[in-house]
Every structure is written in C-alpha cells, then in structure tokens.
A and B are shown apart, each in its own frame.
With several copies, the nearest count.
Chain A
Amino acid sequence: MALRRLLIANRGEIAVRIVKACFDEGIESVLAVSEPDRGSLGAQLADKVVCIGPAAAAESYLDLDRVLAAAKTTGCDALHPGYGFLSERPELAAACEEEGVIFVGPSAAAMRRSGDKATARALARELGVPINEGSEVIASEADARRVAAAIGYPVLLKAAAGGGGRGMRMVESEAELAAAWAQAHGEAEAAFGDGRLFLERYVRHARHVEVQVLGDAAGNVVHVGNRDCTLQRRYQKLVEEAPAHGLSAALERELGEAAVRLIAALDYTGAATCEFLVDPERESAGFLEINARLQVEHPVSEVVTGVDVVREMLRIAGGEGLSVGQEEIAGSGHAIEVRINAESPPREFAPTPGLVTQWAPPQGSDVRVDTACFPGWTVPPYYDSLLAKLICSGPDREAALARTRQALRHLRVQGVETTAGFAFDLLAHPDVVAGRVHTRWVEETFLPEWSDAREAAAEAA
C-alpha cells in the first residue's frame, strides 16, 4: 500500500530532495526540524513542519526518540532518514518496525548485515567478490596497533557507524596511530553518536568507484550504474561522476554484477551503494563496504539513467515493485556533481556560516541544482557546510566537464565564502581532465600547487 504521509528526518538539500519526491508521488511530507531550521527551504516546501529540538544535533536530528515521536505525533506512516544523522542506525529501523512506521530503507536486520563491515566482507568473500583487506570493529587502540601491524601500514581508520569521511584517518606508521585513533573516535562519536572504529588496508593511487543498487520487497535487485568519487579531500568527496570513466567494459560489468549479488544476498529493500577501491593500472577492484542508505551523490546516477532513485525508494517502501528492470536501465552521457560548500578554501576549508545575501545558481538545460539555499537564508553553524550540489551533464565526459566549469563560473553567491572557485580550478586541472587522479591526489598534488599559485598571485598583485 502506497505511503500516505512521510516524516523526513533530515535537513538541508536532501530534505528538499525528499519533499520533491513526495510531491511527485503524491505523499504528504512532514519535515522534522531543529529550532534554527524552522525557516529552511525544506520547511517552506514541506506540507507540515514539526520542531523536534534545539540546534544541537544530539538533541534533534540525532535523537532517535524525538525523531520517532515526531513521526508518531504527526500521524506519519513512514519515515525517510536521508543520509548522515540516523540514516545508518539499525536501531532506528528497528524502532520504526516496532512502532508500525515504515522505514524507507532496509529492515534493521538487513541494515545490520550490510552495515557491519565484517559481515559484509565475509559475505563478499563467500560470493567470490574480491575484497580489500580489513578488520572487524576494534575495541581499543592497543588492538588497533596489533591489527595494523598485521595488515601492514599505511592503514585507514574508519567509523563503523557511518560514512561521508567522518571518523576516517589515514595512518602512515605506528607513530601516528594514537593521535589518529583519538581523532577518528571523537569525530565518529560526534557525527553518528557511535565511536566504534575498524581498520582497512590503504591502497595507494586507488580510485573510489561505487555502484548504486535498488532492491524491492519481491527480491528484485537492479544496479543503476556506477559512480567515480575519487576526488576527495580528507575523505570528504568533492566531485562525483557517473559513469566512472576509463573502466573496461568487463570491469564495469563485474562491479555491477558483484553489487547486485551482494545486495540480493542480504534480503535488502531500498537503495544501497556498494563501494570498491579500483586499481586503474591493474584493472582490479576490491570490495570495501556497503552504504545502506541514500547517498549525497545519487543525482549523477539519476541524470545518466533517468531512474529517480528517491521515488523508487518511496515506491519500494510502499510495497510496490521496482518500476524498472535491469535491461531497461541504460546510461547515456556523463554527469558530474560538484559539492558547493560554505567553506573558505584558503583558510583550510573553514566553515563560513552566515547570511546568504545573494543566491542565483545558473539556469541551464544540462544543469541541475540540488540545494536548500535561497537569498536571505542563514547557513547555520551547527551542521555540515554543504550549500548546494551542482549537477551538470553532457553527451560525454569532456562536455560534462566543460558544462560544469561554465556553471561554476555563473554561480552568483554573496554573503558566504564558498568552494566554487576552488572547484573551478580543480576541474580545470589537466590531471582531472585526463582522469589521472587517485583518492589522495587533491591533498598530495592539487592543494600544494593551488596554494602556491594563490600565494604567487597575491604577491604579484
């Protein structure tokens, strides 16, 4: 039975995105907001708004009981967690099941199986999917020391409870482990209310490639193509593309099939992403993990395939089957998403909250802008700094890149400093144009060059 009224337990651009999908599906949208988000764009667009707590995420967006109470007291029959916050907490899915609220996502059991890195890795091994070596959840720094020595440095410390680069640290040698452990633990605790960590082998010069998957209650599982998210800064994705460029048809097929097999084995409903590390030289891929939620970068897949991932999630949650079969999903052209953050690149990407006095994103047929920003909105200092996602497309990667740079040049924003200029320079770099990058390229190659050029220009002026 189709959903009737949906609680959106999130904020920012993804709240707006889900309100839009509700509009499309004829579902009433109720947005749970924190105090400073009462006037947000999502709150303006939603059918109903309920304030659940103060600015602090721990007492609002991260408070499971309040979120659930918001759904219950407003008569919602379903809840969409968005990404981040509580989206990867099996406890929320379980509590929804208990309270008779449909969770838009996998069952608590499926989320535990997919979200637990050790289980997911074991499953991959079982299914013959090549994996990237890593540990189970680690209890203490001392244990981490032992495990890291066994895997061999460098290693990656990662949060067990969620993705998005929060609680992630590269550790080059044992000497760095103590500090990295403390930082990653604290970050994960703050972001997900769960500081558990695990370790992974770090592959140099690897690319981050992921596959978008959808599964329905009838057991149908399809993949909606792959994405490349290699351009990262401190494990925060900066730019995402669909499809991943330069992969052989065989590798693309292999990744897609592996992702479908993994999700199909999990009795999984909703959207999932299977992440892989790809070694471009050896044309090999290692499975990393499953993200059991909608991802920030889902629009690039939507743009190239025409599949509306969020609407599919809502339909699946309402018990309907997938609206498309694998044979109907064909990618066409290339799409690039650039995250526009309210940050100051010259000041170490420090957040720049404040009043947005001008906001006029470019309008173009090949330009999609997912944002919660509007002129007069004050970017609050309490949450992440994502201001907008600029998604540009073209018949091929070159055209999409050119369109993206054109769109970045035409973004009119005043009041807060943004990463738009930085992103323009990034996408104009020959290595990016040629696709010769890896997950640490921004920090190792681009940022030093970029800072030097800025300083030289400042001196010359």
Chain B
Amino acid sequence: MEMTPETIRALLDAFERSDWREMVVEVGEDRLHVSRDPLPAEAAALAPQAPSSPTAARFDGAPAASAGGDAVGGTTPEEASATAGGGGSPAATGPAAGAALATGTRIESPSVGLFWRAPSPGAPPFVELGGRVAAGETVAIVEVMKLMNHVASPVDGVVTAILVENGEAVEFGQPIVVVDPEG
C-alpha cells in the first residue's frame, strides 16, 4: 500500500463511515492518525495558549451528582458545562472536532467569524474531503460581519480534514481545514 491521495481518501472514507474513534495507519515513513477525539497534539493546538500560564480550563460546576437548578447568577449549570473547557475554540466541542488529522498543513481561521464551505448557499463547496487543492486556491470563507474573507491554501495537496461544520462560528487561529502536501 502506498499513501497516495486515493489511498488517503479511501481510508478517510472508511473512517468517516465507521464508528471507530481513532485510526492509525503507518506505511513506511508515512503515518496517518485520525481521531474523533482531539489528539494530544491537536488538543494543545486547539486549546487557548497562554504564553506563561496554564490554559484556562475550568472546574465543571455541575458534576454528575449535582441536582443542578441554580437559577441565580445567570449561568445555569448546563450553561456552565457548555462553556467549560476553557473557552477554547467553539469547534473543539463540536461534532467536527473529532476529525483532527495529525499530518498535513493546518489552515487556521484568519479571524473570528462564521465558517462557510461554499461561496453562497446551495453552491458547491470550495473543497471536499480527499479532494485536491492548489496553493492559493480558496478552501473556505470566514465571514466577519458580511465581509467574506477567502481563506487560501498555502500549499498544493489533498484535503485531509475539514474541521468545522458549515455555518459554524470560528475564532482567530482555529484550525479549519487540513491539506496534506504529501498527498
């Protein structure tokens, strides 16, 4: 087996359709590591980075045994849970966060905003998982108050992950698309 774009596409496809949580494929020096949970390295990249302080992870105020129901304070335990995890990237807790890829060039959002995979509703997406993309080509749009920021791939390669759902909120620096230049 060789790590061709086709192989990667097939592997990712199989992973997508499976209920596997994690997949590691090693071929020669190539290594493909996919996980529905953030990978350690990815997790660090996704979490807020403090130059000299720990990331701002929080005490989850509503452990299992809690009866909840704390109306005063504006934040219900449910909301507290929802924001627990340090106010990191919204996508880190979203459904797409799992499909993090350890290899390839991670393209980050240039701004806070909304993530769009296509130039307009109903139009075909800029890129598909496993598809080829050329350097300079748009892979997504991050919309900042109606301003459409086209995000270009810095490399030629294969799209090995799309980390955010269409229409979801992203923040600055959040990885949105991964392109493997080896593909």
Q: Does A36 contact B (CB under 8 A)?
A: yes
Q: Does A143 contact B (CB under 8 A)?
A: no
Q: Is the CB of A51 within 8 A of B83?
A: no
Name the segment of B16-24, B30-38, B69-77, B130-138 touching the other chain: B69-77
A425 to B67, CA, bound (A): 7
Q: Does A296 contact B (CB under 8 A)?
A: no
- Name A's B-contacting residues (CB within 8 A): 4-5, 22-23, 25-28, 30-32, 34-36, 38-40, 43-44, 46-54, 60, 65-66, 68-70, 72-74, 95, 99, 355, 357-358, 360, 374-378, 380, 399, 402-403, 405-406, 408-415, 418, 420-421, 424-425, 428-430, 449-450, 453-454, 456-458
Q: Is the CB of B111 within 8 A of A43?
A: no
Contact of A44 among B56, B72, B75, B111 (CB under 8 A): B56
Interface string of B89-117 (1 = CB under 8 A from A): 11000000000000000000001111000
A70 to B53, CA, bound (A): 23
Q: Select the residue from B55, B56, B68, B80 with max chain A CB neighbours within 10 A.
A: B56
B63 contact set on A, CB distance < 8 A: 421, 424-425, 454, 457
Q: Does B49 contact A (CB under 8 A)?
A: yes
Residue of B nearest to A27 (CB): B74
B112 contact set on A, CB distance < 8 A: 32, 50-53, 66, 69-70, 73
Q: Does B173 contact A (CB under 8 A)?
A: yes
A342 to B179, CA, bound (A): 42
A40 contact set on B, CB distance < 8 A: 50
A410 to B166, CA, bound (A): 32
Residue of A nearest to B58 (CB): A412
Residue of B nearest to A24 (CB): B73
Contact of A39 among B48, B79, B113 (CB under 8 A): B48
B120 contact set on A, CB distance < 8 A: none
A375 to B50, CA, bound (A): 13
B58 contact set on A, CB distance < 8 A: 412
Q: Is the CB of A411 within 8 A of B48?
A: no
The smallest C-beta distance from B77 to any residue of chain A, in angstroms, reads 7
Q: Is the CB of B72 within 8 A of A39?
A: no
- 5 nearest A-B residue pairs (beta carbon): A39-B50, A457-B64, A49-B87, A409-B61, A402-B72
B67 contact set on A, CB distance < 8 A: 425, 428-430
The smallest C-beta distance from B150 to any residue of chain A, in angstroms, reads 15
The smallest C-beta distance from A406 to any residue of chain B, in angstroms, reads 4
Contact of B113 among A73, A374, A430 (CB under 8 A): A73
Q: Is the CB of B83 within 8 A of A48?
A: yes
Q: Is the CB of B111 within 8 A of A66?
A: yes
B64 contact set on A, CB distance < 8 A: 453-454, 456-458
The smallest C-beta distance from A164 to any residue of chain B, in angstroms, reads 26
A4 to B174, CA, bound (A): 26
Q: Select the residue from A50, A72, A411, A413 with max chain B CB neighbours within 10 A.
A: A50
Contact of A424 among B48, B66, B83, B170 (CB under 8 A): B66
